[in-house]
Chain A
């Protein structure tokens, strides 16, 4: 049991952090929601009602979609684009999907390779892009969830302010939807660009996200 926890400690740590942050968001969000209700002459809602509301759902979904978009783009773009000196990048000259031998697929698959890496046809094609596909799908579903929950939250707010409601098409063309979307995207893109560039010159001893402390700045695609 101890060994199981140690060998999966990275995943477990982030899952626990996720649950703690989500719980904290639900408590803080409920308080903010009730303050707004009071200002509009409405009645306060309980925690259980808040966490099943569109208001909470849109706040969660808008952050999820941007995180998954960040990883989806990073996974895909680093196939083709490089940054000299960054441990986050392949070496210049290695851009592209690489050969079957380099990727250990088809007849180059090894005894321990996943079955679909050796399989012919669509199974190998799908498995070769499965990480990007999964991240892309979760991004799209989260973004769709944001639009649906956002529509409900927006229309609730509209009625509370004695204004007319909009349909889904009107909402996804609205400033509210794009403000929620783009304010998350810009921060994700800045964080990725910072990581790519700062990791050229700065180090974190022992982290696989960093070069080794003594590695030269010009060294690309290494980890320590």
Chain B
């Protein structure tokens, strides 16, 4: 994976009534890059890597936090570490952030981005395998 920190900008904002034309123009690249995705991922990884389990758990999606027996303890024992952002891809309310040696999936909630899966590794022809996920 090369250094590709560019955001694939496709927050689909398509005007349905005029879908013929606007779908082409607007969904093609309707939003600017969203720096808060990468920032949330970095804050989450830093917190987990520094042993601040409470802060890390507050950045997890509720379902992901509930999947751990003891979120604040478990999230710091997984071995997550902050690293250089290698790529951010945003589609609708979903995002994937690649960092050195890790991949995170995030979801946009009304109050901002939350991590729905972390410690993820790709598997051929299957969903990513993740240490924590919704």
A142 contacts across to B, CB distance below 8 A: 19-20
Separation in Å of the B99 CB from the closest CB of chain A? Answer: 16
Cβ A41 vs Cβ B116 within 8 A: yes
Are B94 and A160 within 8 A (Cβ)? yes
Bits for B60-81, please: 1 = Cβ < 8 Å to A, else 0. Answer: 0111100000000000000000
**Do A52 and B16 have beta carbons less than 8 Å apart?**
yes
Q: Given the complex, which residues of A lie within 8 Å of B63, measured CB to CB? A: 41
* Chain B residues within an 8 Å CB radius of A54: 12, 14, 27, 91-92
Of all chain A residues, which has the CB nearest B66?
A: A41
Number of interface residues of A (CB under 8 A): 38
Q: Decide: A156 near B94, CB < 8 A? Known: A57-B27, A141-B24, A162-B133.
A: yes
- A41 and B64 contacting across the interface, CB-CB below 8 Å: yes
Asked if B14 and A52 sit within 8 Å, CB to CB, the answer is: yes
A98 part of interface (Cβ distance < 8 Å):
no
> In the complex, what distance in Å separates the CA atom of A144 from the CA atom of B14?
13
9-residue interface stretch from B39-47, B49-57, B102-110: B102-110
**Cross-chain contact A52 with B96 (CB below 8 angstroms):** no
The verdict on A117 contacting chain B, using a C-beta distance below 8 Å, is no
Main DSSP-derived SS at the A contact region: helix
- Chain B interface size, as a band, is 35 or more
A53 to B108, CA, bound (A): 14
Q: Which residues of A contact B16 (CB under 8 A)?
A: 22, 26, 51-52, 56-57, 60
Q: Is the CB of A145 within 8 A of B107?
A: no
Bound-complex Cα distance A163 to B24 (A): 25
A45 and B93: CB pair below 8 A?
Answer: yes
* B92 partner, pick from A26, A41, A141, A152, beta carbons under 8 A: A152
Structural contact, B110 and A43, CB atoms closer than 8 A? yes
Say yes or no: is A148 at the interface (Cβ < 8 Å to chain B): yes
Asked if B92 and A53 make an inter-chain contact with CB atoms under 8 angstroms apart, the answer reads yes
| B120 on interface, CB distance cutoff 8 Å | yes
- 7 closest A-B pairs by beta carbon, nearest first, are A54-B12, A41-B63, A41-B134, A159-B94, A145-B23, A156-B92, A57-B14
Residues of chain A having any CB pair with chain B under 8 Å = 22, 26, 40-43, 45, 51-57, 60-61, 64, 138, 141-142, 144-146, 148-149, 151-153, 155-156, 158-165
